[in-house]
Amino acid sequence: MTLRPVRPADRDRVLEITRDVWEGRDYLPEVFDAWVADPGSAFQAAEVEGEVVGVQRLRPIAPGIALYEGLRVAATHRRRGIARSMLRQAVEQARSLGLRQVRLYTGNEVAGRLFASEGFRPVTVCAVWSAGRMEGDDLPRLAGPGEAAALASRLRQEPSMAGSFEAYRGVNPDWNAVLDVDATLLERLAGEGRVRLGPGGRALALLRAEPRSRLAATFVAGSGAGLQELMAGLRFEADGRGLRGVAALVPERHPGIEDLRQVGYDLADDEGRAYVYALDL
Ligand SMILES: CC(C)(COP(=O)(O)OP(=O)(O)OC[C@H]1O[C@@H](n2cnc3c(N)ncnc32)[C@H](O)[C@@H]1OP(=O)(O)O)[C@@H](O)C(=O)NCCC(=O)NCCS
């Protein structure tokens, strides 16, 4: 198996490889052109006897940190150690670039076994909690970028928020970039209109960019009445924006699980889980 950069001409083959992934709903076909054109990351194809049998990408997301993403091996070539060998080469590359950590997000528990056996540590595992849209006026407040520093310190210090922060291990499990939830991230997301607050700023939700059918919260902090008000507010917001409802990624040990239930959220067991792993180099 050899690795080389993915080229625009590989498009059809890569689409073929991803056809059976996530029941045909793989995001890779949508991002293929942007990934090929991105000079800042390594989008690589694995070749066996001149044929592309897999792809992967290593992308810097923060100083010293890269995200490993887009690992796919053709169904015809699985269980032959190809993914393992691709991953090892990506990790070597990250090391040679002087990076200090590789992170990844996956919805595939089986792939998690591969990462764990290559030394990645599980950072957080989140389930999907979902609720339908609901009519209501009490919309959650949007945080402004100027509030980021205060929110970041409250997340670490205020007992009602610190428990949730710890359950996420301090990272935002967004598949697009698993970043530390710090003042820098909060400032950027607030600038993009993606931070929602509960009463008194004692509950917080980070939203995914461009919701498809549901409002998606990747990180939810707080507990008690404040969290309940915020999560109910997200259902109202979904209604106002013509979305089907809300889906929130929540770790098992989150202190606000009972509050989510109180305001109509259910554990969507059939939607799988989100696993975040990290490897310190
Ligand atoms: C996950 C995937 C990349 C694995 O590719 P692969 O080349 O078959 O993987 P490998 O042969 O290198 O196997 C590596 C390890 O993964 C685990 N694994 C892979 N497929 C497995 C399966 N079907 N059942 C159980 N374990 C499996 C095993 O731990 C395996 O190690 P082992 O063979 O020593 O037991 C491939 O199945 C795939 O493309 N799936 C769809 C896309 C996807 O889920 N990508 C991961 C998202 S990050």
Give me the pLDDT at residue 268, please.
84
Q: Is the pLDDT of residue 269 over 80?
A: no
Q: What is the mean pLDDT of residues 22-34?
A: 92
Q: How far is the CA of 108 from the centre of ligand 1 (A)?
A: 9
Q: Which two tokens stand for residue 199?
A: 């009463």
Structural tokens at position 267? 């554990």
Assigned domain for 113 exists = no
- Say whether pLDDT at 69 is over 80: yes
Does 104 fall in a domain? no
Structural domain contains residue 117: no
Cα–ligand 1 centroid distance for 115 (angstroms): 9
Two structure tokens written together for 210? 């461009």
The three-state secondary structure class of 173 is: coil
Measured from CB, residues less than 6 Å from any atom of ligand 1 are 21, 71-73, 78-84, 106, 108, 110-111, 113-114, 117
In the reported structure, the alpha carbon of residue 88 is separated from the centroid of ligand 1 by a whole-number distance in angstroms of 14
Note whether 41 and 135 are same-domain residues. Answer: no
Q: Note whether 82 and 169 are same-domain residues.
A: no
pLDDT at 237: 97
Task: Name the residue with the closest Cα to ligand 1, atom 17.
Answer: 114
Residue 134, pLDDT > 90, answer yes
Average pLDDT over residues 101-114: 94
**pLDDT for the residue numbered 24:** 86
- Shared domain for 84 and 139, answered yes or no, is no
Q: What is the pLDDT of residue 262?
A: 97
* For residues 45-61, average pLDDT: 97
Same domain, 266 and 134: yes
Is 142 found in the same domain as 70?
Answer: no
CATH assignment at residue 43: 3.40.630.30
For the segment 29-37, the average pLDDT, to the nearest whole number, is 96
Per the structure, the complete domain to which residue 181 belongs is given by 126-275
Same domain, 163 and 74: no
**Per-residue pLDDT, 217:** 98
CA of 127 to the centre of ligand 1 (A): 21
Mean pLDDT of the chain: 96
Predicted pLDDT at 211: 85
Taking residues 129-152, what's their average pLDDT? 96
Average pLDDT over residues 96-125: 96
Most informative mutation of 27, 68, 86, 110 for ligand 1 (most atoms within 8 A of CB): 110
Higher-pLDDT residue of 211, 191: 191
Band (180; pLDDT cuts 50, 70, 90): very high
Cβ-Cβ contacts under 8 Å for 183 (sequence gap 6 or more): 148, 149, 151, 152
**What pLDDT does residue 271 have?**
85
- Which residue minimizes the CA distance to atom 24 of ligand 1? 110
Q: Is residue 144 part of a domain?
A: yes
Tell me how many helices (H) and strands (E) the chain has: 9, 15
**Total domains, the chain:** 2
**Closest alpha carbon to 270 in 75, 104, 73, 23:** 23
Q: What's the gap in Å between 120 CA and the centre of ligand 1?
A: 15
Enclosing H/E stretch for 239 = helix 224-240
Q: What φ, ψ does residue 94 adopt, rounded to 5°? A: -60, -40
Q: Calculate how far, in angstroms, residue 81's C-alpha sits from the geometric centre of ligand 1.
A: 8
Count Cα neighbours of 14 within 13 Å in the Cβ-side half-sphere: 26
Q: Could you tell me if residue 9 is left (phi over 0), alpha (psi between -120 and 50 degrees) or otherwise beta?
A: alpha
Within-domain flag for 110: no
175 and 210 Cβ atoms separated by less than 8 Å: no
Q: Using 50, 70 and 90 to split pLDDT, how confident is the model at 18?
A: very high
- Residue 93 gets the label, from left (phi > 0), alpha (psi -120 to 50) or beta, of alpha
In the prediction, which pLDDT does 22 show?
85
Assigned domain for 259 exists: yes
Residue 111, in any domain of the structure? no
Label residue 238 by pLDDT band (50, 70, 90). Answer: very high
67: nearest Cα among 103, 112, 108, 95:
103
Write the residue with the smallest CA distance to atom 10 of ligand 1: 81
Categorize the per-residue pLDDT at 197 as very low, low, confident or very high, splitting at 50, 70 and 90.
very high
201 and 134 part of one domain: yes
Together in a domain, 63 and 133 = no
Q: How far is CA 229 from CA 16, 36, 117, in A?
A: 45, 43, 42
Q: Does 183 map to a domain?
A: yes
